[in-house]
Amino acid sequence: MVGFLVALCFLSAYFAFNLSLFDSGKRIFTVILLFLIVFYDFIFIPIESYFTDTTYFIAKAWREYLVVFLSILLFFHIVITGKIYSKGFEIKLLIVIGIISIAGIISGIIHGYTFFSIVMSWRDYFLPILIAFLLYKVGIFKSLDITTLKITLLIFSVIIVVYGSYQYFYFDGDYTQLWSYEFIYRGKVEKFQQDPRFVQYTFIRDGNLRSSSVFVSPIEYGLFLVVPALFCFNKIISKSTFPIRVFYILFFVVLIIGIYTTQVRASFVALGIAIISCIAIRFIKKMNFALLIIFPLLLVGLTFFLIIYGFSAVEDTSALGRIVQYAKAPGLFEFAGMGLGVSVAESAFDSWYLSSMAVFGVFGLIYFYLTLSIFKYLYTLRIQSLSIRLPNDFVCLLYTVIGYFCAYIYIFAFHYSVASAQLLLLYILTFLMIAKLQVRLFEETNEA
């Protein structure tokens, strides 16, 4: 009964959250949205035992409620205006999502998965894209205040770095007391059938704690921090005043400390790739998109080479395990995939690429194309807007999104990432940039 009442309280809060969409600058909505993205695991995992399966789903399904609410808004907009105008980019995106969804669902049905498991699996792969797309399509992003987004992201980042640093520097050696331990233990031992002794590797590296702060995984925590760190870097090298640069240098140092406490190499690699990509497109303003994404792909190949040929800097149990997964993947591959609804234990590789191919088969290539086409469209708009004067914060955020995507081309090869907080944030920021650039280009065209 208590769990049901609490679930109703959450449901009421989500209703108020959705109503905040009607705020002119979307400031309240922005703060709550980032709060849910950042603190979701930290809020809901510790209280799971107080709920039944049904009430727990009701309490934590904020993404589903948001999609339903946005879909209703879009429906009424179409009914009232009588217009279903969509750009070619939008139509292509929806067609591709439809094709992949149908293929995944049919394959899931053939494999005998339940309707519920198929829906939940579909949610993991497509909900992050749909949330961002619907916010864009309904017009929410056009009026969303960038300053509120920037301030909220930086404040939340500092909060989680402080907590993560506390975890790291005051660690007493007993990782079983960490808030996420029980969740990780159940996932690895019960779902993935791993040896319980391997659980410690999630929390410990070379005798040091791998801090995860408010996230369940140090990898997700570290990769999330790359976003504000990259934004700070872009502010530092932009045309800002000296005091502002000093301010962002201090923020950058704090975020680097946070990334260090994760003890995750991939986070520093991602930040390095993103910084190099940002610098490249600042100097070569009309760099070809294909050339931009070749760089992280070449680094993927280089990483494999270093692991295979035993370079000590990258050769450890974790790295070798990923090589083993790639070696085994062809033998597990099915033409149409295992289908939506397959358990995470069967389809989750330490690679977004392999996991998507495991679920969708050859249609996984279309899923890659879907993600790539979204960012290619953003990059095209960025080139078209080079002659337009844009606010400094916006330009820095734009470079942050492009650089982070380049980093994720590399990260996708070595991290599962499906339904992760940082991937949802990436899609949201991407469609936000698309919406803002479309408005500016439209205004520029009319003025001309």
Q: What is the pLDDT of residues 13-46, one digit of tens each?
A: 888 888 888 888 789 999 999 999 999 999 999 8
Q: What is the pLDDT of residue 331?
A: 75
Q: Are 271 and 407 in contact (CB under 8 A)?
A: yes
Half-sphere exposure of 104 (CA within 13 A, CB side): 32
Give the pairing type, strands 208-209 and 204-205: antiparallel
Stated pTM of the model = 0.94
Question: Phi-psi category of 83—alpha, beta or left, where left has phi over 0 and alpha has psi -120 to 50?
Answer: beta
How many Cβ atoms are within 10 Å of 414's Cβ, its own excluded? 24
Q: What is the pLDDT of residue 259?
A: 97
Give the separation between CA 216 and CA 131, rounded to whole angstroms: 22
Residue 448 has pLDDT above 70, yes or no: no
Give the separation between CA 201 and CA 100, rounded to whole angstroms: 35
List the domain boundaries for the chain.
1-85, 94-447
pLDDT in tens, 349-364: 778 888 899 899 999 9
- Average pLDDT value for residue range 377-389: 92
Residue 196 has pLDDT above 70, yes or no: no
pLDDT > 70: what percent of the chain? Answer: 91
334 or 408: which carries more pLDDT confidence? 408
Q: Are 270 and 411 in contact (CB under 8 A)?
A: yes
Q: What is the pLDDT of residue 317?
A: 61
Q: What is the pLDDT of residue 97?
A: 93
Name residue, tokens 């049919």.
Answer: 106
Q: What is the pLDDT of residue 327?
A: 75
Give the separation between CA 208 and CA 283, rounded to whole angstroms: 40
CA 166, 155, 29, 132 torsion-angle sign: negative
Give the separation between CA 82 and CA 78, rounded to whole angstroms: 5
